[in-house]
Copies of this chain bind each other. A is one copy, B any other.
Amino acid sequence: MIAEIIAVGSELVNGEKLDTNSQWLSRALGKLGVSVHFHTTLGDDLAENVAAFQVAKDRANLVIVTGGLGPTQDDLTREALAEATGEPLAQDEESLKAIVDFFERRGRVMTDRNRVQAMLPFGSEPLPNRVGTAPGIWMRHGDCTFACLPGVPYEMRLMFEEQVDPRLRALGAGSSVILHRVIPLFGKGEAEIESMALDLTARGRDPEVGITAHDATISFRVSTSGATEAEALARLEPTLAIIRERFGDLVLGDSESVDVPEAAVNELARTHKTLATAESCTGGLIAHQLTKIAGVSEQYLGGVVSYANHAKVAWLGVPDSLIAKHGAVSPEVAEAMAIGARTAVGADIGLSVTGVAGPGGGTAEKPVGLVYIGLADAQGASTRRLSLGAEQPRHVIQSRSAKHALNWVRLHLLKGETGR
């Protein structure tokens, strides 16, 4: 089955909004073994919509349209589908009743334009929408099946899962499953990791292995298909095992939802340790990344954002004289910050970051991108120096500093004392 996804909306094609529905649908269809060959995005113009639907009908046998089902004059999908298939629009009584009910339940006034939402091409089937007014449309025409869904991502996804997915399975989709697994790594560059994996990324290999990089986290994406999910998974497993073995402690976890913060929290949980933080140049980013994780209060006690020097003194007990002697960006201050954070709240581990995030504030001796991270535990404290590059923008220096710092916590716990 070859699929095309069409996103309708002038705000998408003129660049005002980014279409993310098509990517989501490609992934959802991939899981059903349906291969998407085309995405088309176009504006609210009837003739262009009709023509695009005809092009799609000729090159694909499943066409999923998002958007253009609302009540306004800009919403042309019903009309365009009728013209493209040569069927007249007819009122669907059940959909009309659903729309009337929707407004009654909410005590809102229904307009005549809402009535238009129940006009569907003759021979099509309405797809009930339980969270909005617009019904979707399911229509088979010759070799091709159209599924029209609302553009609001939440409504679209729900309707795909509840209405389109079962209908596609009834047409035979899902009989083979395409499965992906992602293994994220941190600690080496993409080129180096790639050079260690040339046998895995070779073309034509099954499972197929791809490498992607996002914000210094390098991910292996391993894909294969099988008659069932279990079969596909069994085919994936040996490759996943090779990657885990070969890349050892670079491996953060076993899904794309794990990045360095999640991996660090997993290690804290495994070893029953608690963490406190002291952040200068990362300005709360580490705390924010940790507290995005639900239930993290077992592992993370809190932290200080010591942007001003006297915040380091007041909250972390860093001596004024130490800052005066070595400067706020120094291994000495990083160490004192880590110890101060740990001690103040009685955490097992104190983690600190101090550096020059830029764009201003750099000197010849301490350029933008110079960052010290400190780690303190019951055995003592130590620091590391990062040189992240003066040409990097502020947010990259902040993000890399946070990743390196939390990755140190992860490795420290993973290796015991040798991780220091």
Contact = CB atoms under 8 A, between A and B. Distances in A.
Contact of A40 (B11, B38, B284, B297): B38
Interface string A303-319: 11111101100110000
Nearest to A277: B305
Interface string A295-336: 111001111111110110011000000000000000000000
A38 B42 contact: yes
Interface string A239-255: 00000000000000000
Interface stretch (A51-59, A98-106, A116-124, A380-388): A51-59
B308 A301 contact: yes
Given A59-B48, A286-B284, A287-B287, A358 B305 contact: no
Contact of A315 (B290, B344, B358): B344
A87 to B, nearest CB: 24
A30 B35 CA distance: 33
B45 A27 contact: no
B13 A36 contact: yes
A328 to B, nearest CB: 11
A360 B295 CA distance: 8
A111 interface: no
A209 to B, nearest CB: 13
Contacts of A305: 277, 284, 287, 291, 302-305
B304 A315 contact: yes
Interface stretch (A17-25, A140-148, A224-232): A17-25
B283 A292 contact: yes
A359 interface: yes
Nearest to A312: B302
A169 interface: no
Nearest to A301: B308
Interface residues of A, number: 77
A398 interface: yes
A15 B36 contact: yes
A97 interface: no
Contacts of A27: 14-15
Given A287-B283, A292-B394, A292-B395, A14 B38 contact: no
Contact of A14 (B20, B35, B277, B314): B35
Contact of A304 (B36, B43, B285, B304): B304
A55 B57 CA distance: 14
A311 B345 contact: yes
A398 B291 CA distance: 9
Interface string A268-294: 000000001101001111111011101
A303 B304 contact: yes
21 contacts: A13-B39, A14-B36, A15-B23, A15-B29, A16-B210, A16-B221, A19-B39, A37-B48, A38-B42, A39-B41, A40-B40, A279-B287, A283-B292, A284-B286, A284-B305, A288-B288, A291-B398, A297-B307, A297-B308, A303-B307, A308-B345
The 8 tightest CB contacts between A and B, nearest first, are A283-B291, A284-B287, A15-B26, A302-B311, A284-B284, A39-B41, A15-B27, A301-B308
Given A55-B55, A310-B346, 14 more contacts: A14-B35, A22-B41, A38-B48, A277-B305, A279-B287, A284-B303, A285-B288, A287-B305, A291-B305, A297-B308, A302-B308, A302-B311, A303-B307, A311-B344
